[in-house]
Chains A and B, each alone.
Chain A
Amino acid sequence: MLWEVDVSLTDANGDHAARQLVAAARDLGLVECLGARTAAGWLVEGDLDRGQLEQIATRLLADPVSEVFLADEPGSPRLTAAWDGLSTVVHVLPRPGVTDPAGLTAAEAIDRLGHPGVTVRSLRKYWLPPMDATAAETLAKRLLANDAIHDVVVGPLAIRSLAGGGNWSFASHPAPLTGLDDAALEQLSRDRCLALSVAELHAIRDHFAALGRPPVEIELETIAQTWSEHCCHKTLTSPVDHEGPAGRASYGNLLKETVFAATQEVRRSLGSGDWCVSVFRDNSGVVRFDGDHDICVKVETHNHPSAIEPYGGAATGLGGVIRDVLGTGLAAKPVANLDVFCVAPTDTPAAELPPGVIPPERLLAGIVAGVRDYGNRMGIPTIAGAVAFHPGYVGNPLVFCGTVGIMPRGSADAAVQPGDLVVVAGGRTGRDGIHGATFSSIELTSESETESGGAVQIGHAIHEKTLTDFVLEAARQRLFHAITDCGAGGLSSAVGEMGATLGAEVELDRVPLKYAGLSATEVWISEAQERMVLAVDPADWDRLVATAAAEGVEVSAIGSFTGTGRLVLRWQGELAGELDCHFLHEGRPRKTLPSRCMPPADAPVVWHPRGDLAATVLDILALPDVASKEWIIRQYDHEVQGASVTKPLLGPGDGPADGTVIRGVLGRDRGIVLGVGLRHRIGPLDPYQMAAGGIVEAIANVVAAGADPHRIALLDNFCWGDTRRPDSLGTLVEACRACHDLAIAFAAPFVSGKDSLNNVFSYTGSDGSPREISIPPTLLATALGQVPDVRRCVSPDLKRPGSRLAIVGLSRPDLAGSQLELTGRVSGGAIPRVDPAACRASIHAVARAQATGSVLACHDISDGGLATAVAEMAIGGLLGARIDLAKVPCEGAAELPATARDLAIAFGESPGRFICEVAPDREELFAEALGDVPWAFIGGVAAPPVFEIQATSGESSKATLAALATAWRGPHAAEENS
């Protein structure tokens, strides 16, 4: 029997979803939608009579104080009756097979109420003013639903059952490659969404020809997953012949000879003081923390899924990186998350959006909500992040999710033993996320939303939370030999990796399913979320089962690691596929890639001065890259776990932080600090400097927040356009070179990284011609620092009237790609360039100065330059400040005309500079600590809430603190407090 229960609020004023819908419909000018009401609906199927159903609704589904419910059979006129004149009823429900966390939870609860075997699907229901069905559907699809995962039904629901399909019966599908010409092979790769090149298909064809049989579908899929860009980074690990500004260079393996090589060199130079534990080989990079613990960190991207379904894509991106940390060594406990998003400007007019893309404002809101709902439920504080805007991200938004974990010392190494059981733990397997790994390696098109919807996963955070609780408890009891997460490529990739040398036999029919009907191949490559694979000694199996049961987690032994070097897949005893592990992991043909990069010469600088310096500060504070992200930060739980020391919003005025700090262990004073650097605007101008500037920014962020500059670990995340083109690959090579050089200059090793290539969006222009939009070359640099004693941390907000402000580091008048350029006051000129030795000197000097206790506040100078940094410090401290530009140590500014000189000093973005607020009685200590680094006192802190900038001519301009705060907080601020 199938029932529907609608639960609605008694008080219309509390119906926020309705208010939001009305506002959004009005903003978009879609239809005249003057009123709306909403309800949470539940489809409940099981052996229940009306009385039992009403009891379930009363006890479980509706709140007795604030809600009422209506229960009946779907399609009953009572359920679609008009409500206060609102006669159009719209249902939005997850498509069959799409994970429905609320439905699953409700079914489990109904089971506990004594009604086992009930199936539940959740839905949202909307009552709208009278309108025709097409208009209602259009409105629903624009505002309420995402085609990739939702069905929209206007009027009565005609659904009669929630039952899924029947069982799949075993069949093996040969996929012969012999006799196909290159065009046919290419076609086959595209049709099956394999993302294999012709050369790779030749290798596969030859391998199977030698075996004397064609590959079967599941074998071909396994190879495609394993060889995908997503899983094996084939571009970054390829041989490359490069020609760049520093001459010609040949690499046998690009990543190994740049980023890895730098790490090796840094470790060698550290000698016995090497604090790296496990780098570039596990799911995350591990470094030494204190006497008892190591910490690990990983940052992932989830760009393609987020472009199609921002909420689910971002949530599962975060879920995936959390599992990376959980699946490191013998498991680490996740203690912090970070999130960085790159999107098109949210005010991009609809007419300028290419077809098939989600408008950036809605996209960003969806991404934020996804991270919020997943991260908050996981109980992991989201402590750091950034949002960057650029038109190049319109079709390919970037979503970076990172997680930091902590583990007992001595648990970074894990090794599968022959005879270990292959155990899958956590969520069940469904059709979600089929072809995610190969999909993320293919470029997006305007049809991607409809073609690749199956590649989108929806997360169920509570399953991941219970899985985490279970894994950490099992790790404490040492109940497994190795663990990895089921991410891209699903079981095929997780089991394949764990058994890469030993080999494994897997009985695919033993994998627990969400619903019947999945084929062996689907089970094998499904990217259903919240699953981990463990290698378990059969002697520990019973204890593992008991531990899992105590946490309510499902574990299944689906096979064993064999030691034969072969990967054997079975279905109810029948052979479904068999692969040689050596071929699978080493058989991919490698091709030398041509690469070329000649950064454009600097464009001539042109000045367009406008308004005074204070007005310029206000303009910059309101620019999207700089403006407050409070509306996002406040939606994240950034304090859960109780370890918070330096939060993303600081001081009595809630100003911005640089790095953010948490205690590693509650009750102890050693801290972990996270910072990010992203100089995407420099990318198209000079990829080397883009990467170098980002790395310096990340390091400066954590050092400003108190990190020991001798213990900074770095992560790289490369997001690039089509690197099959030599001139695009060239920019990637230049960025890798920068990573190498900067890591060595700062003795800061890279410990982990990830890349996402082919971020190109192709579509057909209004004139019918093919068009494409590539993202700007984007390196996200993440710095993981350590604070010896969190009680000595300083923050950027100004503290005390009467103290002095000092700038540390040399300023140069380089403004290409700057925020000032975005205000229209300058164009062209030189980009800010990194002088590694000078940056290193100023960063170490600031750390020394902080150690003397003379620094009351410290902020690194990045987007928007010196004046913007001081304004941010004033906003956080609710204090006034004064700076004198004539006192700033500069190089190359003297020859500029006066107005240009002032703009260059106030808003230039030379990397590696800081502002310090210095305690009045400790100026000598401060000066002594800085040594011979260029620095100067340039002003002071005052109680009157005014920011005063004195130009080099002596003329001054002022902005009130209130004006600064309003500009920085922008239109979202008022909403925040409602």
Chain B
Amino acid sequence: MLAPRALVLRAPGTNCDHETAHAFERAGGLARRIHVRALAERPGIADDHQILCIPGGFSYGDDVASGRILALELVTRLADMLQRFRDRGGLVLGICNGFQVLLQTGLLLTDPAGQRQATLAHNHSGRYVDRWVRLRCQPGNCVFLQGLTEIELPVAHAEGRFVARSPADLEHLSAGGQLPLRYSPDAAGRPTNPNGSVADVAGACDASGRVFGLMPHPERFIAATQHPAWHGRLDPDTAGSGLAVFINAVRATA
């Protein structure tokens, strides 16, 4: 049986594509990095892939707003491909900037009228932050989080504050299981929400559970040695808890 194939999409300013591809390979998949220009020229490339991943970075510099220009590129040039990909049951994963892109495209968290129900705004601190957070998973039907309850991952972003359009939208999305990943308190009971996200939301999926975006970086914790406190505490040959996200994706499409 062939290993599932992941297409890791990059654009000018994408900078987590190598390690994200590496994570899919560690999880038993095959990964191919592709520039959005090349994919737009030959959208058929996506047809023999089961997973589409938009990795982290600063697509187009995030100069106008994070993820917005790549999202515009996707909806104007690759809308048909995306539709086909989802109709075939493909999995879509957006990490950090990729999550921002997924929200901006409307692939995630839109109401029946196609209007967006949520956005990712500037961190409450007004600054970029790289730190580790603890996360609570309530997987529901989210393919990527199956079997996970609590994990640790790093975040690294300036625009990760989850904002819902209205309290009713938040309630609706939460009740529908579309907000399956939340920042939770650390071992000492201190909150780890790094950006002021409403309801501690760190990740969101669509109703099918097959399109998932998250601000934390699972590809940055696929090996124990990536943890800031591994020395003398964790077996360096064990996996990090982020690897499960990729294994789940690979298994679900095998």
Residues of chain A having any CB pair with chain B under 8 Å = 9, 11, 14, 16-17, 19-20, 59-61, 63-66, 101-102, 104-106, 108-109, 112-113, 122, 372, 376-379, 460-462, 465-466, 469, 550-552, 633-647, 649-652, 654, 666-667, 790-791, 793-795, 797, 799-800, 856-857, 975-978
Q: Find out whether the CB atom of B61 lies under 8 angstroms from the CB atom of A640.
A: no
Q: Find out whether the CB atom of A461 lies under 8 angstroms from the CB atom of B61.
A: yes
B14-38 interface mask toward A, CB cutoff 8 Å, 1 = contact, 0 = none? 1110110011001000000001011
Binds A, one of B79-87, B203-211, B229-237, B245-253: B229-237
With A16-B122, A634-B130 known as contacts, the answer to whether A642 contacts B156 (CB < 8 A) is: no
Chain A: CB-nearest residue to B121: A66
B234 to chain A, nearest CB (A): 10
With A106-B64, A793-B231 known as contacts, the answer to whether A16 contacts B124 (CB < 8 A) is: yes
A471 to chain B, nearest CB (A): 14
Partner of A642, one of B126, B219, B236: B219
B151-182 interface mask toward A, CB cutoff 8 Å, 1 = contact, 0 = none? 00010100001011100000000000000000
Chain A: CB-nearest residue to B129: A634
A909 CA / B74 CA spacing, docked (Å): 58
Q: Find out whether the CB atom of A462 lies under 8 angstroms from the CB atom of B12.
A: yes
Taking the complex as formed, is B225 at the interface, i.e. its CB lies under 8 A from any CB of chain A?
Answer: yes
B126 surroundings in chain A (CB, below 8 A): 16-17, 19-20
With A634-B129, A791-B237 known as contacts, the answer to whether A109 contacts B231 (CB < 8 A) is: no
Partner of B63, one of A101, A372, A466, A550: A101
Chain B: CB-nearest residue to A646: B231
Chain B: CB-nearest residue to A109: B69
Taking the complex as formed, is B228 at the interface, i.e. its CB lies under 8 A from any CB of chain A?
Answer: yes
Taking the complex as formed, is B5 at the interface, i.e. its CB lies under 8 A from any CB of chain A?
Answer: no
A17 surroundings in chain B (CB, below 8 A): 126
Ordered by A's residue number, 9 sampled pairs between the chains whose C-beta atoms are within 8 Å are A16-B124, A64-B115, A379-B16, A465-B12, A552-B37, A635-B130, A641-B19, A644-B220, A651-B229
A634 surroundings in chain B (CB, below 8 A): 129-131
A106 surroundings in chain B (CB, below 8 A): 63-64
A654 CA / B154 CA spacing, docked (Å): 14
Taking the complex as formed, is B199 at the interface, i.e. its CB lies under 8 A from any CB of chain A?
Answer: no
What 5 A-B pairs are tightest by C-beta distance, nearest first?
Answer: A379-B15, A642-B19, A16-B126, A791-B236, A462-B61
Taking the complex as formed, is B42 at the interface, i.e. its CB lies under 8 A from any CB of chain A?
Answer: no
Q: Find out whether the CB atom of B38 lies under 8 angstroms from the CB atom of A795.
A: no
Chain A: CB-nearest residue to B117: A65
A486 CA / B176 CA spacing, docked (Å): 55
Partner of A637, one of B13, B156, B161: B156
Taking the complex as formed, is B76 at the interface, i.e. its CB lies under 8 A from any CB of chain A?
Answer: yes
Taking the complex as formed, is B134 at the interface, i.e. its CB lies under 8 A from any CB of chain A?
Answer: no
Chain B: CB-nearest residue to A64: B116
Partner of B220, one of A633, A642, A793: A642
Partner of B232, one of A643, A856, A978: A856
A639 surroundings in chain B (CB, below 8 A): 130, 154, 156, 217, 220, 226
Taking the complex as formed, is B65 at the interface, i.e. its CB lies under 8 A from any CB of chain A?
Answer: yes
The count of A-to-B residue pairs whose CB atoms sit within 8 angstroms is 187
Chain B: CB-nearest residue to A100: B63
Q: Find out whether the CB atom of B125 lies under 8 angstroms from the CB atom of A978.
A: yes
A649 surroundings in chain B (CB, below 8 A): 228
A372 surroundings in chain B (CB, below 8 A): 128
Partner of B38, one of A550, A652, A800: A550
A799 CA / B68 CA spacing, docked (Å): 45
A101 surroundings in chain B (CB, below 8 A): 61, 63
Interface size on B, residues (CB 8 A): 63
Q: Find out whether the CB atom of B64 lies under 8 angstroms from the CB atom of A66.
A: no
A460 CA / B164 CA spacing, docked (Å): 32
B174-214 interface mask toward A, CB cutoff 8 Å, 1 = contact, 0 = none? 00000000000001001000000000000000000000000
Q: Find out whether the CB atom of A797 lies under 8 angstroms from the CB atom of B231.
A: yes
Taking the complex as formed, is B144 at the interface, i.e. its CB lies under 8 A from any CB of chain A?
Answer: no
Taking the complex as formed, is B72 at the interface, i.e. its CB lies under 8 A from any CB of chain A?
Answer: yes
Q: Find out whether the CB atom of A465 lies under 8 angstroms from the CB atom of B15.
A: yes
B48 to chain A, nearest CB (A): 21
A649 CA / B130 CA spacing, docked (Å): 11
A643 CA / B222 CA spacing, docked (Å): 11
A365 CA / B151 CA spacing, docked (Å): 33
Q: Find out whether the CB atom of A105 lies under 8 angstroms from the CB atom of B130.
A: no
Q: Find out whether the CB atom of B22 lies under 8 angstroms from the CB atom of A376.
A: no
A650 CA / B228 CA spacing, docked (Å): 5
18 additional A-B pairs beyond A19-B126, A59-B72, beta carbons within 8 Å, are A16-B125, A16-B126, A65-B116, A65-B165, A102-B64, A112-B76, A379-B14, A461-B13, A465-B58, A550-B37, A552-B37, A635-B129, A641-B19, A644-B220, A650-B229, A666-B19, A790-B225, A791-B236
With A16-B126, A64-B116, A795-B232 known as contacts, the answer to whether A379 contacts B57 (CB < 8 A) is: yes
Taking the complex as formed, is B118 at the interface, i.e. its CB lies under 8 A from any CB of chain A?
Answer: yes
A460 CA / B236 CA spacing, docked (Å): 38
A190 to chain B, nearest CB (A): 39
Partner of B60, one of A109, A642, A799: A109
A104 CA / B72 CA spacing, docked (Å): 16
A856 CA / B232 CA spacing, docked (Å): 6
Chain B: CB-nearest residue to A462: B61
B183 to chain A, nearest CB (A): 12
B131 surroundings in chain A (CB, below 8 A): 634
Q: Find out whether the CB atom of A552 lies under 8 angstroms from the CB atom of B12.
A: yes
Chain B: CB-nearest residue to A120: B64
Taking the complex as formed, is B141 at the interface, i.e. its CB lies under 8 A from any CB of chain A?
Answer: no
A636 surroundings in chain B (CB, below 8 A): 130
Chain A: CB-nearest residue to B56: A640
Partner of A378, one of B15, B22, B222, B231: B15
B220 surroundings in chain A (CB, below 8 A): 639-640, 642, 644
B225 surroundings in chain A (CB, below 8 A): 645, 790-791
A122 CA / B35 CA spacing, docked (Å): 27
Q: Find out whether the CB atom of A635 lies under 8 angstroms from the CB atom of B127.
A: yes
A640 surroundings in chain B (CB, below 8 A): 15-16, 19, 56, 156, 220
B101-128 interface mask toward A, CB cutoff 8 Å, 1 = contact, 0 = none? 0000000000000011111011011111
A649 CA / B117 CA spacing, docked (Å): 37
Q: Find out whether the CB atom of A652 lies under 8 angstroms from the CB atom of B15.
A: no
With A635-B127, A644-B220, A650-B231 known as contacts, the answer to whether A61 contacts B64 (CB < 8 A) is: yes
With A14-B121, A106-B63, A642-B22 known as contacts, the answer to whether A60 contacts B69 (CB < 8 A) is: yes
A641 surroundings in chain B (CB, below 8 A): 15-16, 18-19
Most A Cβ at <10 Å: residue of B22, B161, B190, B232: B232
